[in-house]
Amino acid sequence: MNVIHVSAECYPIAKVGGLGDVVGSLPKYQQEAGANARVVMPFYDNKFTAAHKFKSVYESELVLGEDIYPYKILKLKEDVLDIEVLFVDIPEFLFKDYIYSDDDTARFTAFQIAVMDWLLTLKEKPSIIHCHDHHTGLIPFMAQECVKHKPLNGIPVILTIHNAQYQGWFSHDKVHYLPAFDIKHIGLLDWDGMINPLAAGIKCAWRVTTVSPSYIEELQQAANGLESLLSHEKEKCVGILNGIDAEVWNPETDEFIIKNYSAKNIQTGKTANKKWLCKEFGFSASKPLFAFIGRLVYEKGADLLPEVIDKVLSKKDCSILILGSGNPEVESELESLRNKHKGVYNAFIGYDEKLSHLIYAGADFLLMPSRVEPCGLNQLYSLRYGTIPVVRSIGGLKDTVVDVKDGGFGFSHTEASEGDILQTLNRAIEFYKDQPEFKKTRKHIMGIDHSWDVSAQQYIDLYNSIKSG
Ligand SMILES: Nc1ncnc2c1ncn2[C@@H]1O[C@H](COP(=O)(O)OP(=O)(O)O[C@H]2O[C@H](CO)[C@@H](O)[C@H](O)[C@H]2O)[C@@H](O)[C@H]1O
């Protein structure tokens, strides 16, 4: 089975969030399960591409509207990754020092056209095209409707929704960017008067997956305008829980952290990592340390953090550390709290992969007050590193975190509200005081297996069910 994953992100090449983690690891585990899985992604101007050498395996031109652009398909000269990655190099559009911008329509439409044009030229066609999020949502439509790409129409196309909040909307003025298709079928591209790549992907993909079982249920009630579409298409939708790359996220071997540890020496390992974090950010190591890592956006409940932090820290019985970037207002509120709560609060505004590993290793609790959480990887990483998750019970968080009061190992609340978060934080602070129970719980969570083994196989079973059915 030849699977080609099409994505805007893939760790360690280019990552903004969880999409990069999934596309960087799922194919590796699919390989181990016997499938031949590859990735095709844009060639960006970033640290990874600057540090490696590439060779061209295909060169051509693509047509976007009335214009023609040269492009290449590149491969790494040396095998430095566990999986094969192909890079679409369209200098005009993709070779930028960012992944996303405010206007990505031309960039990602050109990317998708180049991918489809190149696939047409392959002698051995993929047996599955697996698209990820709206940046690749036009591919199922192109395979089904565009005259040029009709030869690919027999290949099953899967669309995985990692986040339905972002849909890639653009106006009908730009529909001519797409290769020719029968205009009678323009309705497949449209949702509410706009061209909507995510909606088009949902309509045209052979199967749609979401990254947790709960999320697929929730999308029928709240999908940023696509509720009725997802209810209508529910027969072809399935939720498959994300896994984690157990090699990258392994406290026993993690090169980023201060002291490696396993469940056996968790006490000394966590203590050493916490000590480093506390020194670095000016905290006392005797207090419970809560951390938040993520995009500072509404879906993550980031706007609730400043008020919650201000209130919970008035008692000074815990410390809080934030790592994230996003909404400028939230960023500046979080920065300005530093002076008021010196010694118990700090924030690193920005993106820092190494620091994220140090935090998973050194914090006692991880906060995730998300309004929407399709799966969430942070809580899975935190479990692996013995850091107890404190989450809103939604989406994948609901599927992976069981509250201590229900015999589980984490803390959860039902509402993304200041009151609920505060109450739950206070429960966790109390729990920390019972050190034997706290230590037993964090040792237990390190043993919970969220590696990709099971879910990678579920995807393969899904591919097989389409081919045979
Ligand atoms: N400032 C920062 N510095 C360093 N690292 C940072 C960082 N901000 C975030 N990260 C890292 O980015 C990843 C975030 O992953 P998530 O899955 O939790 O969220 P995201 O919303 O990006 O993904 C979407 O897709 C994924 C994958 O399907 C779903 O799990 C999720 O629910 C959905 O919203 C983690 O690896 C985290 O450590």
Q: Is 24 in the pocket of ligand 1 (CB under 6 A)?
A: no
pLDDT at 467 exceeding the cut of 80: no
Give Cα 359 distance to the centre of its chain: 18
pLDDT tens, position by position, 156-213: 999 999 999 999 999 999 999 999 999 999 999 999 999 999 999 999 999 999 999 9
369: Cβ contacts below 8 Å, ≥ 6 apart: 300, 301, 304, 305, 308, 391, 392, 413, 416, 421
Using pLDDT thresholds of 50, 70 and 90, give the confidence band for residue 468. Answer: low
Check if 2-243+453-468 and 266-446 are the same fold: yes
Q: Is 351 in the pocket of ligand 1 (CB under 6 A)?
A: yes
CA 33 – ligand 1 centroid, Å: 25
Listed by start position, the domains of the chain span 2-243+453-468, 266-446
Nearest residue (CA) to ligand 1, atom 9: 294
Q: Is 242 in the pocket of ligand 1 (CB under 6 A)?
A: yes
- Binding site for ADP-alpha-D-glucose, residues? 15
pLDDT at 149 exceeding the cut of 70: yes
Question: DSSP H helical segments within 146-264, as ranges?
Answer: 197-204, 213-219, 227-232
Three-state DSSP class for residue 276: helix
CA 15 – ligand 1 centroid, Å: 9
| ipTM field | 0.98
pLDDT at 469 exceeding the cut of 60: no
Nearest residue (CA) to ligand 1, atom 7: 294
Q: Which numbered atom of ligand 1 lies nearest the CA of 242? A: 28
Q: What is the pLDDT of residue 103?
A: 87
Q: Is 400 in the pocket of ligand 1 (CB under 6 A)?
A: no
pLDDT at 311 exceeding the cut of 80: yes
CA 224 – ligand 1 centroid, Å: 19
pLDDT tens, position by position, 71-118: 999 999 999 999 999 999 999 999 999 999 988 999 999 999 999 999
CA 280/CA 398 separation, integer angstroms: 33
Look over the chain and give the mean of its residue pLDDT values, rounded to a whole number.
Answer: 97
Q: Is 210 in the pocket of ligand 1 (CB under 6 A)?
A: no
266-446 placed in CATH 3.40.50.2300: no
Q: Are strands 190-191 and 345-349 parallel, antiparallel or unpaired?
A: unpaired
Nearest residue (CA) to ligand 1, atom 12: 17
Q: Is 211 in the pocket of ligand 1 (CB under 6 A)?
A: yes
Q: Is 18 in the pocket of ligand 1 (CB under 6 A)?
A: yes
Q: Tell me: cis bond preceding 12? Omega within 30 of 0 counts.
A: yes
Q: Which numbered atom of ligand 1 lies nearest the CA of 215? A: 32
pLDDT tens, position by position, 341-350: 999 999 999 9
Q: Is 376 in the pocket of ligand 1 (CB under 6 A)?
A: yes
For ligand 1, mutation pick of 132, 241, 375, 385 (most atoms within 8 Å of CB) = 375
CA distance readout (Å), 62 to 72, 94, 200, 201, 413: 10, 14, 22, 21, 50
CA 468 – ligand 1 centroid, Å: 34
Q: Is 241 in the pocket of ligand 1 (CB under 6 A)?
A: no
CA 396 – ligand 1 centroid, Å: 13
Q: Is 462 in the pocket of ligand 1 (CB under 6 A)?
A: no
Q: Is 25 in the pocket of ligand 1 (CB under 6 A)?
A: no
Q: Which numbered atom of ligand 1 lies nearest the CA of 396? A: 32
pLDDT tens, position by position, 351-383: 999 999 999 999 999 999 999 999 999 999 999
Give Cα 179 distance to the centre of its chain: 30
Q: Percentage of the chain surpassing pLDDT 90?
A: 99
Q: Is 245 in the pocket of ligand 1 (CB under 6 A)?
A: no
Q: What is the pLDDT of residue 279?
A: 98
Q: Which numbered atom of ligand 1 lies nearest the CA of 368? A: 18
Three-state DSSP class for residue 5: strand
261: Cβ contacts below 8 Å, ≥ 6 apart: 251, 252, 268, 269, 270, 273, 361, 386
Radius of gyration, CA atoms only, the chain: 23
Query: What dotted CATH number matches 2-243+453-468?
Result: 3.40.50.2000
Angle at 205 between CA 200 and CA 211, to 5 degrees: 95
pLDDT average, residue stretch 437-460: 96
Assigned token pair, 359: 């935090």
Q: Percentage of the chain surpassing pLDDT 70?
A: 99
Q: Which numbered atom of ligand 1 lies nearest the CA of 300? A: 21
Angle at 443 between CA 413 and CA 278, to 5 degrees: 75
CA 193 – ligand 1 centroid, Å: 31
Nearest residue (CA) to ligand 1, atom 23: 18
CA distance readout (Å), 402 to 129, 364, 445: 35, 17, 11
pLDDT average, residue stretch 225-244: 97
Q: Is 372 in the pocket of ligand 1 (CB under 6 A)?
A: no
CA distance readout (Å), 270 to 13, 346, 347: 29, 20, 21
Q: Is 243 in the pocket of ligand 1 (CB under 6 A)?
A: no
pLDDT average, residue stretch 458-469: 86
CA 305/CA 302 separation, integer angstroms: 5
Nearest residue (CA) to ligand 1, atom 27: 18
Helix (H) or strand (E) run with residue 294 in it:
strand 289-296
Q: Is 162 in the pocket of ligand 1 (CB under 6 A)?
A: yes
